A and B are shown apart, each in its own frame.
Chain A
Amino acid sequence: MGNVSINKLDISYDTTFILNQLDLSIEDGEFVVLLGPSGCGKSTLLNAIGGLIDTTGGSIYFDGNDVTWADPKDRGIGMVFQSYALYPTMSVEKNMSFGLRIAGVDKETIARKVDWAAKLLQLEPLLKRKPASLSGGQRQRVAIGRALVRDAGIYLFDEPLSNLDAKLRTELRLEIKKLHQKLKSTMIYVTHDQIEALTLADRIAVMKDGVIQQLDTPYNIYNKPDNLFVATFLGSPSMNCLEGTLYSNGGKVTFFSADMLLDVSDYQFMKEPDDGQHVTMGIRPEHIQTLEADKEDANLVSGVIELVEPMGSETLIWTRFTSQQTLSHSVSSELVFAKGERVNVKIEPSKCSFFDTETGFRI
């Protein structure tokens, strides 16, 4: 149990659409992350799956059953919230067992389930404590425990780590991943943090303006973005974008931008590009090879370093190539570069992404 299928889902307030004709299908046991900037509709989508907001149109199926209008409690879901949403007047144990007690489950079963979840999340020593006396990380573990106790087929996470500090976030992220591997339940996870999305997801749905821009594996989302939005939303430091023109001449394709001329025949075009098509080339900083100025190679571009940003494990270099073009490229932090120095960089066409400038779609 646990596959989710959403058909032509509409959600609107007054006349503004939050979600518009959204389709999404999630396999049993899959970990899907809804990723996007704030206001993109990802939390709305999650709340709709949880039955917490009414839909305007379309339908939601769990395992083939129409749950569009089912009560949240009848959907077989567990949910974890950003603000933990623990019941402040109840102990950890009571928090976790509240749903079962309401459902009239017998005491023995409740105790067994609470014990199981507490063991899984190392909550045993905290069971008698009130939420107010717990740290943020502990609270969120309790909230996860509360969701687990419900023995649901589908778990929903609404930015569960956003209120935690960076270190705890990494720890808990790992814990959630292990949990998924152990339970093999369907998990739908909303976040605006791309690292969380990339590390946790089987598939990521990148959303913008209530529309899923791309639904794919983290690898493809990162390396083969479907459009400019996905390309620039993911990646830190972010992708370089150069606008230019493609010239196609008997199987040889060249990209021309300002003074830069690149042979991009190696790039896997989805279809033969038009001659003279206006395109945007995207290349991630780590995919630009930095060479010393006197090396010679194909697709070399030469420029002057404007800014050097050491980032710990690597160093990001901003180099000006023409009057209008600056590219960022990362090098190992072992190598020392200075402002004003001249460098050559090599752009590997197969690592690039090309987008139609007008539509923003990958070509």
Chain B
Amino acid sequence: MNVIAIQVHLKRNSFAYLAALPMALTVFVAYMGTMFWSVRLSFSSSRMLPKDDFVGFAQYERLFNTSRWISSLENLLLIAFLFLAICFVLGFLLSVFIDQKIKAESFFRTVFLFPYAMSFIVTGLVWQWIFNPQLGVQKTVQALGWESFKFDWIVDPDMVLYTVVIAAVWQGAGLVMALLLAGLRGIDDDLWKATKIDGIPAWRVYISIILPMLRPMIITTVVLLSISIIKMYDVVVAMTGGGPGVASEVPAKFIMDNLFERANIGIATAASTVMLSTILCLIAPFIYSNYIKKQGR
């Protein structure tokens, strides 16, 4: 491009560049700048106060020798797997059933999606009460006469994660339902006529034809849900506080605790760098293929 071309380009688009300035500042200062700062701190010996020395991977070593961090990672993996699987199966079933020309469709849709409008704090609190042995389901069943009934998952270190999963599914399954339903409604009616003429049973159509067609929507849903799981913080704080012990600790909460309560900046930033790299690996290809490649004009 020659000089005139560049001059004309800049002159014509000057206001556009001006308007993009806040966006650029957000990206370069608020996102990238802070990100690099965090990463930098993770290689220092910072504890209560930030230091600008360089200690290599010492903080990471400490981090991965911290049993609390290890169990928070294990917890996250288990939660993520169960949450994704249950949300997806439940959401898909709901969307398919709602798509069967049922009565009161909008009632069902409203009911299944309303938890998504609730905050994680509310979600966590309300399920905490339902699972609370002295208050909720256990007490109710015992009062009905089944004295030996026990349902104390929320105080049981082996089971507490499942209560978190239930609460998260309650909040998130509606999203899967709504997105997949939108996908189902977008499928051409002629396709259904064709499968009817071919005599393919409906369940088979859903498994072999519809699901593959919904692929882009499924990928989006999985990404959205995965992100909400990795960011999971509020719901655990409200529901279990990470307990009993560290049985429901999650990485996001681990970082916050180390930042604020334990004043352990080095470990916190090392942990957040680990989260960051994981997310980047998961997300970059998705963003590229979904938002950038197809859209430019």
Interface assignment of B144: CB less than 8 Å from any CB of chain A: no
Interface assignment of A54: CB less than 8 Å from any CB of chain B: yes
Given A55-B5, A71-B12, 7 more contacts at CB 8 Å?
A: A54-B5, A54-B8, A54-B9, A56-B1, A69-B4, A69-B5, A69-B8
A residues in contact with B9, CB < 8 Å = 54
CA of A269 to CA of B278 in the docked complex: distance in angstroms?
74
What's the nearest-Cβ distance from chain B to residue A319, in Å? 40
Give the total of B residues in contact with A, Cβ under 8 Å: 6
CA of A55 to CA of B4 in the docked complex: distance in angstroms?
11
Tier of interface size on chain A: under 10
CA of A70 to CA of B9 in the docked complex: distance in angstroms?
11
What's the nearest-Cβ distance from chain A to residue B1, in Å? 8
Task: Give chain A interface residues in 25-78, CB to chain B under 8 Å.
Answer: 54-56, 69, 71
What's the nearest-Cβ distance from chain A to residue B27, in Å? 25
A residues in contact with B5, CB < 8 Å = 54-55, 69
Interface of A is mostly: loop
Task: Give chain B interface residues in 1-20, CB to chain A under 8 Å.
Answer: 1, 4-5, 8-9, 12
CA of A360 to CA of B4 in the docked complex: distance in angstroms?
40
What's the nearest-Cβ distance from chain B to residue A279, in Å? 45
A residues in contact with B1, CB < 8 Å = 56
Question: CB-nearest residue of chain A relative to B1?
Answer: A56
9 example contacts (A-B, Cβ-Cβ < 8 A) are as follows: A54-B5, A54-B8, A54-B9, A55-B5, A56-B1, A69-B4, A69-B5, A69-B8, A71-B12
CA of A360 to CA of B5 in the docked complex: distance in angstroms?
38
B residues in contact with A56, CB < 8 Å = 1
Question: CB-nearest residue of chain A relative to B8?
Answer: A69
Task: Give chain A interface residues in 219-237, CB to chain B under 8 Å.
Answer: none
B residues in contact with A54, CB < 8 Å = 5, 8-9
CA of A107 to CA of B4 in the docked complex: distance in angstroms?
37
CA of A71 to CA of B4 in the docked complex: distance in angstroms?
13
What's the nearest-Cβ distance from chain A to residue B126, in Å? 45
B residues in contact with A71, CB < 8 Å = 12
CA of A343 to CA of B8 in the docked complex: distance in angstroms?
66
B residues in contact with A69, CB < 8 Å = 4-5, 8
CA of A133 to CA of B116 in the docked complex: distance in angstroms?
39
A residues in contact with B4, CB < 8 Å = 69
A residues in contact with B8, CB < 8 Å = 54, 69
Interface centre among A56, A69, A71 (most CB of B within 10 A): A69
Instruction: List the 8 closest A-B pairs by CB distance, nearest first.
Output: A69-B8, A69-B4, A54-B5, A54-B9, A71-B12, A54-B8, A69-B5, A56-B1
Question: CB-nearest residue of chain B relative to A71?
Answer: B12
Question: CB-nearest residue of chain A relative to B5?
Answer: A54
Question: CB-nearest residue of chain B relative to A72?
Answer: B12
CA of A256 to CA of B73 in the docked complex: distance in angstroms?
83
A residues in contact with B12, CB < 8 Å = 71
CA of A69 to CA of B5 in the docked complex: distance in angstroms?
8
Please encode chain B, from 161 to 179, with 1 for each CB lying within 8 Å of some chain A CB and 0 for all others: 0000000000000000000
CA of A55 to CA of B1 in the docked complex: distance in angstroms?
10
What's the nearest-Cβ distance from chain A to residue B9, in Å? 7
B residues in contact with A55, CB < 8 Å = 5
